[in-house]
Amino acid sequence: MSRKFRKSDLDTVTRHRVQSGFNPETDVFFTCSDPKTIPLLASSLLCSPPPRRMLFFASLRSPIPLRLPVRSPWSARLFARLHSTNIPNHTAVLQPSPSPPPSSTTAVETEPDEYLRLIFDDSQIWHFHCHPPQSVLEPLSNLSLDFLRRSLDQQPTGLFNNSDLGATRGFQRVADKALRRARLIVERICRAPQNGDAEMRKVVKNLDRLSDTLCSVIDMAEFIRNAHPDQDVMEESNSAFEKLCSYMNSLNTDTRMHEVLVQVLATPTIVSSFTSEEHATAITFLRDFQKSGIHLPASQRARFVTLSDNILSLGRDFTSANPRALSHIRVSSSRLEGVGSVFLKSVVRNDGAAYVPTTPYESTMVLKYANDAEVRKDMYKAANSATKKSIEVLEALVRARGELAKLVGKNSYAEMFLQDKMAKGPENVQTFLRTLLDHHLPNSRSDLLLLQQTKQHTLQLPTLPTINAWDRDYYMNIYGTSSRAHARPRSISPYFSVGSVMQGLSRLFHHLYGVRFEPAQIRSGETWHDDVRKLDVVCERDGNIGTIYCDLFSRPRKMSHSAHYTVRTSRRVDDDDERGDCLYGSPISSFPMVPQGPLATVKGTGRVIRSRPGRSYQPPVVVLTCDFPTPTSRYSPTLLTLHEVETLFHEMGHAMHSMLGRTDFHNLAGTRCATDFVELPSILMEQFVVHPNVYSLFARHYSTRQPVPPALLEQHVAQNNLFSALDTHAQILMALIDQSYHSAAALDPAFSSIDTWSRLQDASGVVPGVSDTAWPTQFGHLFGYGAGYYSYLFDHALAKRVWKACFEHDPLNREAGERFRTEVVGWGGSRDAWECVAGMLGGEDAEMLAGGDERAMKRVGEWGVESD
């Protein structure tokens, strides 16, 4: 056994300090008697910014020290070099994922962000990053290095570093603190007229602080209630979420605050001193009051709050409980020819029959591979069936929204929702969607013709047959696998490990914005699962500008979709004046005598951003969640499909919108902008994935580190683009049904969600509709994006235009990236979205879009959403 490390060991290699150019003023030299401790020590060094310019490592078994430049984040080729230089295989505790050995010492320096890749691809490196063994750290603590002391002194915390959330009933505690602070701010705002001009001047700021106080808990609870593996924590966070949302709904009908805001906006001396951001924030709050029926009598305002709470409850029911009327289909196993023996074995029971569940995976297997058309038909109808209760929940949801809109004087929920969006009204949305439908119809019919020809050839039919809904996936698969021109290429996933993609994103953002990702330490209790990684977003100009938690791997009961959650927005905090809440908002106007209990405060949020002279901003915090397969071992990282890579780029587009948006006000920060504008940055990010200049940054084989063959990637792009026009057509129909459900028709006593869907399919579909099906009950976006689902298509058309005009020829161009930052994402919601797009595009496009009217919506529809 190797003896333990002793400080005296440092003296045994003193001579090597001179020989290797050691500088005691700028460098640190470590040596260990046990080679196992070298990679462990390295992992602890990687947890924090290095204290010196150079680090020297040596093992007593290998007297030649290793000289490494200090970088942040550290190069994980450090591990490879340490392993190949000093540590025999049989003694190494921490080894890198397989990679070619460095040919020279310069190899250590070629990829300074390699560690970023490895914390996602190598679970053991991630484990040592978060939990350096005490046996390694304690003997080194007497070296008085800050990063070692931090590792030793790390104290447990709560979720997102909120100590209150590390104990039982934590969400109740933070909700109560937020409510106490909010009530003080409300009273302060309401009393502003009697407290002088200085307080009136702060009304908009205090309204924004009020919103931030509540949303900082609501947004966090919204994520945790959907993602935490502990059911008790999920329920507690949901309780806090609903409690604060209900309170916020009541504030939107508070006549006292509305009257004060109106008075502020009617005072020229105050309005003339507003910045453009402040004025936009004030108008946003005024519209929120108006949309909530502030002009209504008290009884109707109370009705507004009740309806709003009811919509939240119905929405949760709709998205979490929509079972099929038929849980499975029963067929003879002989009729499942084509689905494969493994799948067939999993569904056959003792009586010899197959019982196939109607859940997504099983239904897709049948619809895609079963040769028997009648079996596919039965599965299609069963998989798109719905219980009576599911249909009732959907119709109750859209009816409640219609009643809410009627209450505030609007004809429909769509009219109410769209009044402050880019579209401005449902008529303009219809113009865009119908224009887009006409634009893509020839392409959709061309795709359909391919399927008809494939079916005709497969079944040896004399004429072109009809393609039914249950035929679509089946003949798409046959065409994609049998056509020589589109033969399924070999897997590209080995070139897309999760870590490689994250590394590529960091490199891309560094080119575009001067921003990179650095792995951050996670304290005990800070995250909801051990698989969660934490990244600091570091700007070369402003330093650390935010935090991204990456919850990318699947686990039992985890939501299956990918999403971006805002936990905390950026906003200016140096002028918060929290003490004034107690002076002007408390019944007892003495700060030490506030009796309500602990208050929510920004004081505990830690570091701030100082990107503007004399101003401090709270850094944004977001979560990216995906459902990628969990790595099977540290040498087999999670490998992504091309579609999954595009998904990760998409969600990271949202995250960077949150990181780069720097506004003074929370209510307009980052992704808090118009719904039909917020998807633009994320969809634009998808365009970068397959450009050679971009994929060359990261697409390397997880084992050999060889770059992806361009021809292979081109084959996969072509495969993914097969029948894309049919997919676009389906998306247009989904956007149209969303508009129909949120039109005035929802309040008609004869309204039927299923009949409405059937009529739309018959009128605008390219594949005949199927009676007795109820697919819309599975359309979860009807809640989260009610009346706004068109936004995906609308922003896709905008993103395509921006890509072609600004990035297609040079996607790594810093000037174009900075322009996108200053014209689009940097504004959050504080600038008119049409102005943002026009400013980015310039030229004739800018002139056409400037009005933001029906003509502009029609032009965007004419641009289309598919690649040329």
546: left (phi over 0), alpha (psi -120 to 50) or beta: left
- Burial class of residue 770 (count of CB atoms within 10 Å of its CB; 0-12, 13-18, 19+): middle
Q: Pull the structure tokens for residue 127.
A: 């484990």
Which DSSP string corresponds to 291-306? HTTTTS-HHHHHHHHH
β 615-618/27-32 pair status: unpaired
Listing from the earlier edge strand, what are the strands of the sheet with 609-612?
A: 571-572, 615-618, 609-612
Q: In what order do the strands lie in the sheet with 27-32?
A: 27-32, 54-59, 62-69
Residue (of 703, 715, 769, 759) closest to 736 by Cα position: 759
Task: Supply the DSSP string of 378-426, one letter for each residue.
Answer: HHHHHHT---HHHHHHHHHHHHHHHHHHHHTT-SSHHHHHHTTSSS-SH
C-alpha distance from residue 798 to each of 687, 794, 840, 856 (Å) = 12, 6, 11, 11
- To the query of whether residue 808 is one of the catalytic residues in this protein, the response is no
Instruction: Output the CA angle 446-447-450, nearest 5 degrees.
Output: 90
Question: In Å, how far from its chain's centre is CA 182?
Answer: 28
C-alpha pair distances (Å), 332 with each of 152, 375, 411: 64, 10, 52
Helix (H, G, I), strand (E, B) or coil at 552: strand
Strand partners, 535: 519, 548
What is the gyration radius of the CA atoms in the chain, in angstroms? 30
User: Is the C-alpha dihedral spanning 414, 415, 419, 423 positive or negative?
Assistant: positive
Coil, helix or strand at residue 77: helix
**Dihedral of alpha carbons 588, 591, 595, 601, sign:** positive
Number of H helices, E strands in the chain: 37, 13
Indicate the residue type of 684: L
The residue from 278, 651, 686, 823 that is catalytic is 651
Q: Give me the phi and psi of 546, to 5 degrees please.
A: 165, 175
The two structure tokens encoding residue 396: 């109750």
Alpha helices in 49-192 (DSSP H): 77-86, 114-121, 123-130, 134-140, 146-153, 170-190
Terminal-to-terminal C-alpha distance of the chain: 66
Q: What does the block give as tokens for 666?
A: 């929370």
As a 3-state breakdown, the chain gives helix, strand, coil percent values, each rounded to 5, of 55, 10, 35
Positive or negative: CA dihedral 4, 7, 9, 10:
positive
Give the chain's length. Answer: 868
**Which of 383, 414, 408 is closest to 737 using CA atoms?**
414
What residues are annotated to the active site? Answer: 651
